[in-house]
Amino acid sequence: MTAGCEPGVPRAILHLDMDAFYASVEVRDDPTLAGKPVIVGGSERRGVVCAASYEARKFGIRSAQPMATAHRLCPRGIFLPVRMARYREVSRLIFAIFHRFTPLVEPLSVDEAFLDVTGCERLFGSPEKIARDIKAVVREETGLTVSAGVATSKHVAKIASDLGKPDGLLVVPPGTEIAFLAPLPVGRLWGVGKVTEGALERMGVRTIRDIAALPVDTLIGRFGAHGAHMHALANGIDDRPVETGNEVKSIGHEDTYEQDIRGRKTMERQLLDLAHRVASRMRRHDFRGRTVTLKVKYSDFEQVTRAESLQQTTDDGGTIYRIARRLLDKTEAGARPVRLLGISLSNLEGEEAPAISGPDGVVLENRMDRERATMAGGPELHSRKPVQLSLFGGSGQGAAKAKAPEAPAPSVVSPLRQEALNKTVDRIHEKYGRKGILPGRLLEED
């Protein structure tokens, strides 16, 4: 759902971003932690910082830093494990508050969202007042602080909320976007990471003003379509609508390993494990996906992704594994040690998600509830979307592009038998847990 606003009327977009969300929830649940450096993150040896309270940030601790570094920077900090279920619970409360003001809520994660409040003035007052009211209600009902950016586009609103942190409220009035953006460093632009920033720096481009002044052709020549996008953003142009998140866009799984893995065989086994886990999640939620994405993080934290699209959607672990293994060949995994592997499926096809908004996890949980209800009502109520069966089995069978790399070997089992097998495996998992039945290779020792 998108805002149906009249052309010419400037939009009113809010970006709301909870301050140090995980850490703030921990402090709220244990008030004795107030004022102390609180760091929430993964297990000590390998994990990364997920959130740090503002007190902890004074020590130089940042999100995504290895926990080991955080320990070094702040040995007396309070280190806590991630309690995702709890954060989701609080997140639900906060999103419910957002929804009191507008149905147009686009969740970016559990603690961040865009709201489109165009045309809500009569009801709730100016966009600035709405932002102030939301901040007050969130504080009153959850005890947490949220930073808000108010602008005519998502991009500018996001930068504004960021600049105001913590507990900020920054309004960029219509017509002042370009002046607001101009002096900021290029790294503030959406989609400009370290690599792009470096490349821009070598071109002598440091501020958003510099980008806006460049001919768009120069940027396209250097960065392709992304260049055109940057140019538009730098000139304050960003028409992307606020999209309510009632659609799951991808389903995936990733693991950070206790120790860097080096052996190709070990990596393949990890991929097999991931592939089956992703596949069973897909099946549990009645999704099929077309695009397989492999994520590899090397020991030095450099991260690459490789993706490939299938001709037909799949929810089969074996098929996902075969693609992922081939994608692994396109990385330097093996030559370089790997600390994280992840597989996700996107381009999803499946039942429409229920029309509720909220971060990903919320949507999925609700789907599960509904599924359970359906199953309780008997199997005949569980109607499936029609699925066109395929003549040639396997994912890539007979469908490789000319001169394209060889298609992965098709499954030796016919797709229908594979599907029946997968269903049986799912039932065993339901009854005996994930270890109830596993591919033999996952039982091997390294």
Partner 1 sequence: MNFTVDRDQLEGLLSRVQGVSERRHTMPVLSHALIRADASGLTMVASDLEIVIRCTVTGATVTAEGAIALPAKKFFDIAKVLPKGDVTISMTKEGTSVKISGKSGNFRLAGLPAQEFPEMPEKPSSKPVAVDGELFRKLADRVSPFASSDETRYNLAGVLLEQHDLDGASMLRMVATDGHRLALSDGEVPGIAALFGARKALVPRKGLTEIRKLAEGGVGSIEMSVSEKFLFVGKGDTEIWVRLLDADFPDYRQVIPKGNPLSAKVPREAFTAALKRVAVMAPEKVHSVKLAFEGSRLDVSTTSPDLGEASDTVEVEYAGEPLKIGFNGKYLQEAVAGVSEDNLLIEMKDDVSQAVIRPESGTSFLAIIMPMRIF
Give the shortest CB-311-to-partner 1 separation in angstroms.
Answer: 6
Report the site for partner 1 in 129-188 (rule: CB under 8 A).
none
The answer to the question of residue 389 lying near partner 1 (CB under 8 A) is yes
Helix axes 194-202, 216-223, angle to 10 degrees: 130
Q: Which is nearer to partner 1, 259 or 309 (CB)?
A: 309
The answer to the question of residue 418 lying near partner 1 (CB under 8 A) is no
Geometric angle at alpha carbon 111, from 79 and 51, rounded to 5° = 20
Alpha carbons 151 and 130: distance in angstroms, whole number: 12
Q: Which is nearer to partner 1, 335 or 389 (CB)?
A: 389
Q: Which is nearer to partner 1, 63 or 311 (CB)?
A: 311
The answer to the question of residue 366 lying near partner 1 (CB under 8 A) is no
Helix, strand, or coil (residue 125): coil
Give the shortest CB-192-to-partner 1 separation in angstroms.
Answer: 30
The answer to the question of residue 431 lying near partner 1 (CB under 8 A) is no
Sole window of 140-148, 232-240, 246-254, 399-407 interacting with partner 1 (rule: CB under 8 A): 399-407
Give the shortest CB-52-to-partner 1 separation in angstroms.
Answer: 45
Going by DSSP bridges, is the β-strand pair 146-151/250-261 parallel, antiparallel, or unpaired? Answer: unpaired
Identified binder of partner 1 from the candidate list 32, 64, 76, 388, rule CB under 8 A: 388
Tell whether the torsion through CA atoms of 312, 314, 316 and 321 is positive or negative: positive
Alpha carbons 220 and 226: distance in angstroms, whole number: 7
Q: Active-site residue 112, yes or no? A: yes
Phi (first) and psi of residue 241, to 5 degrees: -75, 160
Indicate which residue of 26, 55, 112, 177 is catalytic. 112
Identified binder of partner 1 from the candidate list 122, 384, 431, 435, rule CB under 8 A: 384
Sole window of 21-29, 111-119, 220-228, 401-409 interacting with partner 1 (rule: CB under 8 A): 401-409
The answer to the question of residue 354 lying near partner 1 (CB under 8 A) is no
Phi (first) and psi of residue 366, to 5 degrees: -60, -40
Sole window of 85-93, 127-135, 172-180, 305-313 interacting with partner 1 (rule: CB under 8 A): 305-313
Number of residues that bind partner 1 (CB under 8 A): 20
The answer to the question of residue 386 lying near partner 1 (CB under 8 A) is yes
Say how far residue 260 (Cα) sits from the centre of its chain. Answer: 24
Q: In the Cβ-directed half-sphere of 268, how many Cα atoms lie within 13 Å?
A: 13
**Residue of 126, 124, 122, 104 whose CA lies nearest to 113:** 104
Alpha carbons 317 and 325: distance in angstroms, whole number: 12
Alpha carbons 427 and 436: distance in angstroms, whole number: 10
Identified binder of partner 1 from the candidate list 291, 390, 413, 426, rule CB under 8 A: 390
The answer to the question of residue 225 lying near partner 1 (CB under 8 A) is no
The answer to the question of residue 432 lying near partner 1 (CB under 8 A) is no
Alpha carbons 55 and 131: distance in angstroms, whole number: 25
Q: Please enumerate in sequence order all residues whose Cβ is within 8 A of that of 133, keeping only pairs 6 or more positions apart, or say none.
A: 101, 124, 125
Identified binder of partner 1 from the candidate list 311, 346, 347, 366, rule CB under 8 A: 311
The answer to the question of residue 398 lying near partner 1 (CB under 8 A) is yes
The answer to the question of residue 122 lying near partner 1 (CB under 8 A) is no
- List residues near partner 1 by CB under 8 A: 309, 311-312, 384-392, 397-403, 416
What residues are labeled active site? Answer: 112
